[in-house]
A and B are shown apart, each in its own frame.
Chain A
Amino acid sequence: MIRSEVLKTLIPIISDQLVVSNIGLPSQELHLLDDQPTNFYMLGTMGLASSIGLGLALAQKAKVISIDGDGSVLTNFGTLPTIANNPADNFILLIIDNGSYGSTGDQPTYAGMKTSLAKVATACGCENVVECSAEDTAAAVQAALDGDKMTIIVSKCESGNIKVPVIEMDAPVIRHRFMAEVSRRNA
């Protein structure tokens, strides 16, 4: 399974959850599959989906899922100690680990070589780290949502992309409708 196929299996589970999605193809795929006001599409700032998600989780009560990538976590490794040391039990970090920089032409990442993101997360102090196959990802995300405990999921999938259009919605509109939804859930 490639990332877009994994995302497809997640839609029934995450469609009504607050989701912060990663730059490039992951956001575009989520937007194509299931555009929702509960989705925050991060259109720039590679690496910050986990930071935005953690800040959001710490600031309010609703559950938050950050959908990140292996290349993006590698570019913002400092996020893992911050997550570990500021636990938010309403936060799930899902790292779709396809071992490549998908949006830029599938160049290999170190996560597809010797570096284990699950082991790094554990070494950084994250207490609830799950590594799973692409096929088991939906079940892992459902279990994390049911568990009420901050969870890091590393989903090992294949490299590859589908053709998707860019997101044309203006960034302040994405933020505005997302914030309205966050506010509604905390009313």
Chain B
Amino acid sequence: MSINQKIVNDFIKNRIKFVTTVPCKQLAGVIDEIEASKDIFHIPSNKEDEGMGLCAGAYMGGKRSAIIMQNTAIGVTINTLVTLIQYYNIPLPMLISYRGEIGEPVACQVEMAVHTKALLNQLNIPTYHFHEQRDADELDGILNHSFMAKKPVAILTDASFWQGA
């Protein structure tokens, strides 16, 4: 099974039925897998805060939701994370490509990478860093944890993780 299939299988196992995505090169394979899934409604969004609004609505409509996005989106979504997702106690798993880490070819991406964990820490968002393929064994538990706690969680997936794909 590919890592992309494993991720989507864990989404389905945790009854996630509504996924919004804003693309990143590292996430292309998993986005394809989401699009192909018969169990998940895939709705691409134009900006990540819009996507979080869609996810909040779907959750209130009875469908567990998740967002797939790049770490640069943390800068875009701080207000939404704080005054919608956290303020209303809405669970939201965020599968995030951790651009700007070792192996990154684009220098500009490093500028946001150096702030990513600090921002998530400041926001008190439980954060998990997948560096090796086997780290994804924790995904099932992390997703379950997000819905149990009704909190957003961040799953940072770096270049080393995806190069093993």
Query: Do A and B actually bind?
Result: yes
**Which residues of A are in contact with B by a Cβ distance under 8 Å?**
20, 40, 42-45, 47-60, 76, 78-79, 81-82, 86, 171-172, 174-175, 178-179, 182-183, 186
In the complex the two chains form, what is the Cα distance from A175 to B150 in whole Å? 12
Q: Is B110 an interface residue (CB 8 A)?
A: no
By a CB distance below 8 angstroms, the chain A residues around B53 are 45, 47-52, 55, 76
Q: Is B127 an interface residue (CB 8 A)?
A: no
| A55, A81, A171, A175: residue with the most chain B Cβ atoms closer than 10 Å | A55
In the complex the two chains form, what is the Cα distance from A58 to B17 in whole Å? 11
Interface string of B3-40 (1 = CB under 8 A from A): 00000000000000110000000000000000000000
Q: Is B49 an interface residue (CB 8 A)?
A: yes
By a CB distance below 8 angstroms, the chain A residues around B62 are 59-60, 179, 182-183, 186
Q: Is B146 an interface residue (CB 8 A)?
A: no
Name 18 A/B residue pairs within 8 A (Cβ), A-sorted: A42-B84, A48-B50, A48-B53, A48-B56, A52-B84, A54-B54, A55-B43, A56-B57, A56-B58, A58-B43, A59-B59, A59-B62, A78-B45, A82-B45, A171-B88, A171-B89, A175-B89, A183-B62
Given contacts A44-B83, A45-B84, A175-B90, contact A82 B61 (CB under 8 A): no
In the complex the two chains form, what is the Cα distance from A79 to B57 in whole Å? 13
Given contacts A48-B80, A78-B47, contact A55 B89 (CB under 8 A): no
By a CB distance below 8 angstroms, the chain B residues around A51 are 45, 50-54, 57
When the two chains form their complex, are residues B46 and A82 in contact, meaning their CB atoms are under 8 A apart? Answer: yes
- Contact check: which of B18, B50, B87 meets A76 at CB < 8 Å? B50
By a CB distance below 8 angstroms, the chain A residues around B124 are none
> Which B residues between 68 and 88 are near A, CB-CB below 8 angstroms?
79-80, 82-84, 87-88
| Interface pairs A-B: 5 shortest CB-CB | A55-B57, A44-B83, A59-B61, A51-B53, A78-B46
When the two chains form their complex, are residues A78 and B50 in contact, meaning their CB atoms are under 8 A apart? Answer: yes
Closest to B20 in A: A55
- Contact check: which of B55, B57, B88 meets A53 at CB < 8 Å? B57
When the two chains form their complex, are residues B54 and A172 in contact, meaning their CB atoms are under 8 A apart? Answer: no
In the complex the two chains form, what is the Cα distance from A171 to B18 in whole Å? 23
Q: Is B63 an interface residue (CB 8 A)?
A: yes
Closest to A60 in B: B61
When the two chains form their complex, are residues B58 and A58 in contact, meaning their CB atoms are under 8 A apart? Answer: yes
In the complex the two chains form, what is the Cα distance from A86 to B20 in whole Å? 12
By a CB distance below 8 angstroms, the chain B residues around A48 are 49-50, 52-53, 56, 80, 84
Closest to A46 in B: B79
Closest to B56 in A: A52
